[in-house]
Amino acid sequence: MTVEQTIQLTVVVLTKNSGNLLRRCLESAAWADELLVYDSGSSDETLTIAQELGARVVTDTDWQGFGRQRQKAQEHARGEWLFWLDSDEVISPELRQSIEQVLRAPERGCAYRCARLTDYFGRFIRHSGWYPDQVVRLHRAADYGYNDAQVHEAIDCPRDRVRELAGDLHHYTTESFAAYMTKSVRYADDWARDRYSRGKRVSVAGVLLRSFWMFVRKYLLQRGILDGKHGLLLAVQSTHYTFNKYFALWVLAQKQRQD
């Protein structure tokens, strides 16, 4: 019997300098048949931790965006089924049970999504538009794969073929202020470059109005006020992120005119 036939589930984790988070992440998925760490050039202890915890490591520094990186990672996974896990995420016991139940009797041609519960500097956020943050993460490798988006990539599958998993995926995105803000700026820049390549443009008024609207939406319409002081600061930070996205888009257009 071949290796491919004996592996039912591969948990895939993309990494780059994720050592401070990776241990907790991989330990939550240690029950899977295979752990695949697809690394884009870590210089910290990421690879040592991955190997220590029994993960198979593949290094690929030819970064072409998150979507393309996941597509390449899928080519290396040996499991019949894939579960995609970020290095700052943890599979809860309830979610594990739900995944195992699906694998015992999967519905043909379906992908599966779960709710992501995010920690924001010490508090799980249950409002502010952050919960339930439904993400498709489990699918048969032969059926589906990720799209080409540079950031905010998603598994390309029909909505009517998506089913629910019970249990939450715990998301620890705020390990430190510096790391969080660095990632936020990188995401904003990636988003702007992606939208600019598709022909999207924005005016100065558009930058300001979209930023203001984000605060109203997060804090009032999505009831961020119920998340207390964390909800208020999240609304302000989300406003800042929106400003950065559209400001970066505006800057690209200005540079084009100058050139």
For the chain, residues classed under CATH 3.90.550.10 are 3-120+132-172
136-145: b or e for each residue (b if 16 or more CB lie within 10 Å)?
bbbbebeebb
Could you tell me which CATH class the domain 3-120+132-172 is placed in? alpha beta
pTM for the full model?
0.82
pLDDT of residue 257: 87
Residue at token pair 């896990």: 85
**pLDDT given at position 175:** 78
Encode pLDDT of 20-51 as tens digits: 899 999 999 999 999 999 999 999 999 999 99
Q: What is the pLDDT of residues 169-226, one digit of tens each?
A: 999 988 789 989 998 999 999 999 999 999 999 999 999 999 999 999 999 999 999 9
Do 87 and 13 meet the contact criterion of CB atoms below 8 Å apart? Answer: yes
Q: What is the pLDDT of residue 1?
A: 35
Mean local confidence (pLDDT), 127-153: 94
The confidence score (pLDDT) of residue 4 equals 43
* Two tokens, residue 31: 């029950």
Residue bearing tokens 């760490």: 37
